[in-house]
């Protein structure tokens, strides 16, 4: 029975939020113009997102093929999280959402069989939303993620979403710090 509970919790973390970030169709045209100018709101393109982040003062590196999903990696320093780390940011395939992911930990089989630790993360998903914990099915890495609308995006709105993600990581660090999880 315990193995079934653990498997159910792990499955919920890995697959529970997959449908939330998907949108039904691709736009017919990419937005035109530079919406990264101060005070303007719009829908960011793949090319405009890293430009806006750089204009906001972040150190940015971009990965991915041009014209397809590209990840902008933003360096952020927060002493409460142990120094400098990177937040990965990308547009959804249809450009309607912006996703941000903050790496938390590599999960071993021992971590994945820890029902109490995984249950705590699921509980926090209910209180930390729109931040949510997720496990990458392939790499078994734990992330704190956030999704926001791309429409009407301004530098201030993007910064607020990034800060909310980072502050969520600070608030929940005792829950995702797997070195503090007790063996079951």
The predicted-structure confidence for 45-68, as pLDDT tens digits, reads as follows 888 888 898 898 888 888 877 666
Q: Which two tokens stand for residue 59?
A: 């150190």
Provide, rounded to the nearest whole percent, the portion of the chain with pLDDT above 70.
Answer: 72
Separation of first and last alpha carbons in the chain = 14
Q: Which two tokens stand for residue 53?
A: 């982040």
Report the chain's mean pLDDT, rounded to a whole number.
Answer: 77
The number of helices, as runs of H, and strands, as runs of E, in the chain is: 6, 6
> Quick check: 157 pLDDT over 70?
yes
The predicted-structure confidence for 110-140, as pLDDT tens digits, reads as follows 999 999 999 999 999 999 999 999 999 999 9
> Quick check: 7 pLDDT over 60?
no
The total number of residues written for the chain in this structure: 184
Fold topology of 2-18+35-180: Yope Regulator; Chain: A, (3.30.1460)
More confident residue, 13 or 172: 172
- The pLDDT, as a whole number, for residue 168 is 93
CB 153 within 8 A of CB 34: no
Provide, rounded to the nearest whole percent, the portion of the chain with pLDDT above 90.
Answer: 45
């Amino acid at each position: 029975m315990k193995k079934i509970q653990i498997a159910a919790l792990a499955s919920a973390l890995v697959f529970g939020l997959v449908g939330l970030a998907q949108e039904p169709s691709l736009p017919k045209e990419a937005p035109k113009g530079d919406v990264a100018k101060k005070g303007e709101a719009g829908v960011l393109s793949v090319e405009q997102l890293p430009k806006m982040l750089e204009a906001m003062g972040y150190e940015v590196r971009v990965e991915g093929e041009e014209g397809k999903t590209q990840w902008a990696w933003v360096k952020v320093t927060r002493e409460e999280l142990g120094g400098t780390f990177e937040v990965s940011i990308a547009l959804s395939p249809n450009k309607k959402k912006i996703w941000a992911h903050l790496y938390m930990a590599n999960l071993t089989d021992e971590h994945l069989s820890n029902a109490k630790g995984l249950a705590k993360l699921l509980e926090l998903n209910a209180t930390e939303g729109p931040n949510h914990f997720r496990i990458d099915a392939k790499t078994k890495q734990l992330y704190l993620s956030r999704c926001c609308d791309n429409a009407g995006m301004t530098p201030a709105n993007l910064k607020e979403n990034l800060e909310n993600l980072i502050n969520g990581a600070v608030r929940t660090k005792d829950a995702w710090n797997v070195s503090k999880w007790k063996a079951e």
